[in-house]
Structure 1
Amino acid sequence: MAHSRTLRGRRLGKPLSAARIEVFERANGVSLPDGYRDFLLLVGDGGLGPGHGLCELSTWRTVELPGNVMSIELPEGTFPGLRVAYHGGADVTVLLLTGSFTGRLVDLVGEVRTEVRQERDFTEWYLNWLMAEGVSLRVTPPRPEHVLVDVVLGSPDGAERARAVHELGALPDVAAGTVELVEQAALRDPCPGVRFQAVQLMGELDLPVVGVYLAALRDPSRSVRRRALVHLLRLAGDTSAWQEGLAVVRSTSDAATVHIADDLEERRARGTVIPEEVRQAS
């Protein structure tokens, strides 16, 4: 498949934490190959890449909901794959997740043919594209925890505080005091971007903070409310707290979020958002 030399999606998405990747794997019943997992952890989720750019891990823009996983038919059988690049029309590149070609890339050219690529894994495929396009990447590791905490506590710049909270999610572990700081930021920081990142991080850390999520459902920012709603579903989808959260959302004038809440409840009832085995593992 010929890749476009127009560098659409010049910027990479933000890296994901290991916790978010594990949530996606559980929700979709898959295991991501090491090379692609490392890319998500260290480089970014979606953006700069072949064709129209790399796809985000989930088309829903939230890893808690199924997305981008599709079935690939090969002579050896049918295997699950993850759409990693879109080239226009029905042309896509897919990362195989099981079978003898696990970790390899497949080009789907419309509905005409399926071609297994020669690269051994996602890393080789992406590096080959970078060299062909003459693009170089610089990967910056997250700052130390104490530095990030100082930024969250002391920076007057809301965008910088939000970045610091996001970087905390890339650390392998955070101290109990930092967790408390994140909970406070989710409800009290004056910047909606900080509150959003804090609610997101609490979900990544699987914190049992139903009360915080319920309070965040009343946040002035729609994005914060929606993020809290999804995490509340993961944490309390079969409890009265989830029904309380639905009631909170439905009592607002935010019709778009009410629609999302109703859709999530319908999917939850059918078991298509968070299957039983996922709830048991959470």
Structure 2
Amino acid sequence: MAAADAGCVVFGASKHRYRFGAPLRESAVIEFEQRHQVTLPESYRAFLVGIGDGGAGPYYGLFRLDGSDIAERDREDRWVPGLLATPFPHVTAWNPNGPDSLDRMSDEEYFAPEWVAGSLVIAEYGCGAFFRLILSGPARGQVWFDDRASDGGLTPGPHFRDWYLGWLYDEN
């Protein structure tokens, strides 16, 4: 991909430049899992340890597991005790503030952590939208699109491996 896009003109490539962060040691992944009382989905875990911690990926690329490359306001999922271990509450798309909604939620309600519990922000789409890896609950392993910033709600997607390969092979 880097050779085909040497000027990094593909959307988001100018940020990640087709480079990866250094792979994580198994001990760092275990420490994260123990701190948050979760087990990372196997394909994501294998990516972190075998390929890299953040970097090249869909849109603006993947964030580091520790969230050190995410704006402070967008990494609260890594700070709230127990949030990642709480089962993700959705199995189908969720958007109470959609265009056909009669009873819209306030911003405070709509952006409450409870709606994204059990998920980890792994990539930025842009304009306040993110991709979330589901860590717990029935949707575990899937990557969901979080477009609440534009009243687009939460939309399910494929499992991490398929989501990432879709980008590699331009299937997104």
Unaligned 5+ segments in structure 2 are 1-9, 70-74, 93-113
- Sort the Cα spacing of 1:130 and 1:75 in 2 relative to 1 into closer, same or farther, 3 A: closer
- Report the alpha carbon displacement of residue 40 of structure 1 after superposing the two structures with TM: 0.4
SS in 2 for 1:101: coil
8 Å CA contact retained: 1:59, 1:68:
no
Indicate the residue corresponding to 2:131 in structure 1.
93
Indicate the residue corresponding to 2:90 in structure 1.
74
Q: Separation in 2 of the partners of 1:83 and 1:54?
A: 9
SS in 2 for 1:94: strand
Note if 1:9 corresponds to 2:16. yes
Q: Separation in 2 of the partners of 1:46 and 1:82?
A: 13
SS in 2 for 1:30: coil
**How many percent identity over aligned positions?**
30
Q: Separation in 1 of the partners of 2:121 and 2:131?
A: 6
Greater RCO (Cα-Cα under 8 Å, separation 6 or more): 2
Indicate the residue corresponding to 1:108 in structure 2.
146
Indicate the residue corresponding to 2:27 in structure 1.
19
Indicate the residue corresponding to 1:37 in structure 2.
45
Note if 1:132 corresponds to 2:170. yes
Q: Separation in 2 of the partners of 1:67 and 1:28?
A: 13
8 Å CA contact retained: 1:57, 1:68:
no
- Report the alpha carbon displacement of residue 23 of structure 1 after superposing the two structures with TM: 0.5
Task: Give the number of equivalent residue pairs.
Answer: 124
- Sort the Cα spacing of 1:75 and 1:122 in 2 relative to 1 into closer, same or farther, 3 A: closer
8 Å CA contact retained: 1:59, 1:67:
no
- Sort the Cα spacing of 1:25 and 1:44 in 2 relative to 1 into closer, same or farther, 3 A: same
- Sort the Cα spacing of 1:75 and 1:21 in 2 relative to 1 into closer, same or farther, 3 A: closer
Deviations 1:166-205 (A, max 9, x none): xxxxxxxxxxxxxxxxxxxxxxxxxxxxxxxxxxxxxxxx
- Report the alpha carbon displacement of residue 130 of structure 1 after superposing the two structures with TM: 0.8
Structure 1 residue ranges, 4+ long, deviating more than 3 angstroms after superposition:
66-73, 75-79
Q: What TM-score, normalized to structure 1?
A: 0.40
Q: Separation in 2 of the partners of 1:45 and 1:129?
A: 17
Q: Separation in 1 of the partners of 2:132 and 2:169?
A: 20
Q: Which structure has the bigger radius of gyration? A: 1
- Report the alpha carbon displacement of residue 5 of structure 1 after superposing the two structures with TM: 2.6
SS in 2 for 1:74: coil
8 Å CA contact retained: 1:60, 1:67:
no
SS in 2 for 1:125: helix
Q: Separation in 1 of the partners of 2:51 and 2:26?
A: 13
SS in 1 for 2:161: helix
8 Å CA contact retained: 1:93, 1:106:
yes
8 Å CA contact retained: 2:91, 2:138:
no
- Report the alpha carbon displacement of residue 38 of structure 1 after superposing the two structures with TM: 0.3
Higher helix share: 1
1:208-247 equivalence runs, <5 A: none
Aligned-partner residue type, residue 102 of structure 1: R
